[in-house]
Structure 1
Amino acid sequence: MLSYCTSESDIKLLLSEITDLTLSEDGKLNFIQLVTKYGHTAEEYEVTTEDGYLLKVFHIPGNRSSILLTHGLATDADPYVIRGHGSLGIALADKGYNVWLLNNRGTKFSRRHTELDPDKDKKFWDFSFHEMGYYDLAATIDFVLNQTGEKKIFAIGHSQGASQFFALTSLRPEYNDKVKLFLALAPGVYFFNMPPLFRVIADAGPLLLELLKTLGIEELCRDRGALLNLIKTICTKGIVSYEVCVKGVIFPFFGYNPAGFELSFLRTLFGHAPSGFSRKCLKHFDQLYLRKKFSQFDYGDHENLSKYGLSNPPDYDLSKVTANVALMAGKNDTLILVNNLKLLKEMLPNVVHFEEIEETNHIDFVLSGEAYKYMFRSIFSLLQNYG
């Protein structure tokens, strides 16, 4: 059993007793349909990585510089367009930028491999943000450059999407020269002095993740799995759903900001999220918290010696990230704390912009209905300055 979201009979029975998933019009539209609805055309490409993963890359054509967007854990390209003109991906297209959107391996759009079957081969799920950077992001940057003939592009990454950029550019420094400016939105790098809820979950992480491994669960949140559909159904039923799913789960973990996350949006959001990812992804982030370092995956002393020649995994050398970097922190973000981003700023050699954004939690950067009010102006200004 590789997938957490399996179709056990008891879950099916429970689902049958609940009314159908209630979605808005935009919650029912796919990526291409959403982009079309909001006045643009969209294209699909497939990029093959060095290690055989087949990635779907979306393209919203424009006549200005190319911008590559990378997403966070448990999401994909969809959140960058589900707010219509208030979404970052559509807003960039509205400004004429040539927008490209990566879907990392394991998401609902990139669940394919040249040799491995994600439903049968555990090896398919042997990846974290490390491979997403070293292989997925590298292959996609090269693909965009080859398609456009440009020598450099812009890149924007949210949370894990920024983690993978720093992994890539520290290990393959030549990719620094392929990026004009990288905008890191609440990047997941350092996890010091975390709030109590996070600490409780992260401290229990090794035990819980080992339990999943024992159960043979390597894929989390498979699209259209019965358990995931149950969660989506519960979270799209009105005010009770908002109290349970948003106030009870989302705000405590990601930070409080009801102004940008209205009740009606749930019926759009849960038509597109969450998206699949590997157990190893969670384990690597848990290791960052427990080790208090931005380091490569810890396989244990014996395997570390074989893989790295060291008993401990090496740190990512952030001094090699020489690309221009802009860091954006949310003051209400309880997952990626402002002080941890200040530490990251000191570790990077070329931070050209650092901004703390008022009343912004972790997911507001891509999901808030008010992001255009307090974030887009800075992003457009930076793109103009470095374009």
Structure 2
Amino acid sequence: MTLRVMLIVIAVNSVVSNALFIPRSLPEDALLNFTGLSEKYGHKAEEYSVVTEDGYILTLFHIPGTRKPPVLLLHGIHDTADTFILRGKKSLAITLANNGYDVWAGNTRGNKYGRRHIKLNPDTDPAFWNYSFHEHGVHDLAAITDFILNATGEQSLQSIGHSEGTTDHFVLASQKPEYNNKFKLFIALAPVAFLSNLISPVSAVTELGPLLNQVLLSLKIEELISEKGIEKNILQLICNKEDIGYELCFKGVILQGAGYDPKGIEPKFFPTILGHYPAAGSRKSLLHYDQVALSKRFALFDYGPEENKKRYGFIVPPDYNLRQVIMKTALIVGKNDNLSRVRDVEYLRFLLPNIVEYHLMRQKRWNHLDFVWGNDLPETLFPQILSLLEKYR
């Protein structure tokens, strides 16, 4: 049974057997976009369109500030720029803006803010979804960085990435080393390059990855969790039920993958998350991460021996050369992060040549999502970030 069919069956059964349990209305913050949230919490945000060299049109948000250099925020997988502002006054975007920083929040191709192309239609052209984190790095992050520097007249910027947002930086700086000079500092929250030490249930999912990919291919599914798709609607229907949504979807599913820390994200905040996450993405993106996990190598996409030979000159894809990532980098890690495992980040730390800070969050249960959605960010994480930004201006 496919994931799509399973979701439909679950939803029908849920509606029939729980007809009285009507999903609650989403709170205002779940419905506002980035600019709406920014204005609500005291800052007027600007919106720009960035065109990549391969024709994708990405939305870039800007909260003007007086402190230079500019600071770029880049989200993780199946996420958007909204992730950095969902906590309102306790969010990273608003905290930086309140401290006078010139804040730019980027989006990579595929999510609701990156679903445009100069030629391709995401609804009818499968080629639109032919990308992974590789293209997010070499095309999207490169275009966003150049746009910000051109707009501000600065020679370099500071950047903060979360999860896949860190992968994108490592890809860009290794594939296009000239971009190292365009970053004064890169702060990597929950860094992801190697996935060699995953534990259950994430490790079990990666083992099933090739099979799930074949199922998606057979069904000709390239876009996952579309904003207007049935999967997203069903997730909203089930997970926004006041009586079971938090327990079933958040504690029962999401935290099993991210690391169990129910105190970091309280039940009343979960509906706000549901309004923005998960966002759409490509089948190929998940497959590329699955390849990284199964091969235990941070390498380019594996197309198979014959195609690899044509593209790379070798029957196996080459590793990303992390020795070329010479920009100043700070790694911030959670002890309870099931995706950015401490041992994997320590190996990454060994390979990167210019680590200026390695910080292990002292909270024992700090997980993958606490970096962006935790309810105690102003006391736990933000002092570290603000100190680094000030030190490496």
| TM beyond 0.5 | yes
Separation (CA, whole Å) in 1 of partners of 2:236 and 2:265: 16
**Counterpart-to-counterpart distance in 2, 1:239 and 1:376:** 33
Counterpart check, 1:310 vs 2:298: no
1:252 aligns with 256
| CA distance in structure 2 between the partners assigned to 1:77 and 1:281 by the alignment | 18
Report the AA paired with residue 48 of structure 2. Y
CA distance 1:149–1:12, shift in 2 (3 Å): farther
**What does 1:19-58 align with in structure 2 at a 5 Å threshold?**
19-20=22-23, 22-58=25-61
1:381 corresponds in structure 2 to 387
**Equivalent position of 1:285 in the other structure:** 289
Identity of aligned residues (%): 46
1:162-201 deviation per Cα after TM superposition (whole angstroms, max 9, x unaligned): 0010000001001000000000111111112221211211
The answer to whether residue 372 in structure 2 is matched with residue 366 in structure 1 is: yes
Does the CA contact (< 8 Å) of 2:335 and 2:366 recur in 1? yes
Deviation for aligned residue 1:226: 2.6
Tell me the CA shift for residue 14 of structure 1.
Answer: 7.7
Moved more, 342-351 or 24-33: 24-33
One of 146, 154, 157 as aligned partner of 1:153? 157
**Runs (4+) of structure 1 moved beyond 4 Å?**
7-18
CA contact (8 A) 1:21 1:233 kept: no
* Aligned residue number for residue 275 of structure 1: 279
Shift in CA distance, 116/256, structure 1 to aligned 2, threshold 3 Å: same
- Deviations 1:190-220, CA, capped at 9 Å, x for gaps: 1122212112110010010111011000000
Q: How does 1:134-283 map to 2 (within 5 A)?
A: 134-283=138-287
Q: Which residue, 118, 129, 135 being the options, matches 1:131?
A: 135
Question: TM-score scaled to structure 1, two decimals?
Answer: 0.95
SS at match of 2:67: coil
> What residue identity is the alignment partner of 2:386?
F
State the Cα distance separating 1:22 from its structure 2 match: 2.3
- Report Cα offsets for 1:287-321 as digits up to 9, x if no partner: 00011010000000000011111100010000000
* Whole-angstrom CA distance in 1 between matches of 2:22 and 2:227: 19
Give the 3 Å change call, closer, same or farther, for CA 101–4 of structure 1 in structure 2: farther
Contact conserved, 2:166 with 2:191, CA < 8 A, in 1?
A: yes
User: Normalized against structure 2, the TM-score is what?
Assistant: 0.94
Q: 2:316 is paired with a residue of what secondary structure?
A: coil
CA contact (8 A) 2:56 2:109 kept: yes
Give the CA RMSD over aligned residues: 2.0
Bigger drift between 333-342 and 214-223 goes to 333-342
Instruction: Structure 2 unaligned segments of length 5 or more: list them.
Output: none
Q: Could you say which residue in structure 2 is the equivalent of 1:351?
A: 355
| Alignment check: 8 A CA contact 2:264 2:376 kept | yes
Contact kept, 8 Å, 1:22 with 1:233, in 2: the verdict is no
Moved more, 142-151 or 247-256: 247-256
Alpha-carbon spacing, 1:8–1:378, altered in 2? closer, same or farther (3 Å): closer
- Report how many aligned residue pairs link the two structures: 384
The CA deviation at 1:11 is 6.8
CA distance in 2, matches of 1:372, 1:203: 37
Q: What SS does structure 2 have at the residue aligned with 1:322?
A: coil
Q: Which residue of 2 aligns with 1:329?
A: 333
The question of whether the paired residues in 1 share the 8 Å contact of 2:23 and 2:242 is answered with: no
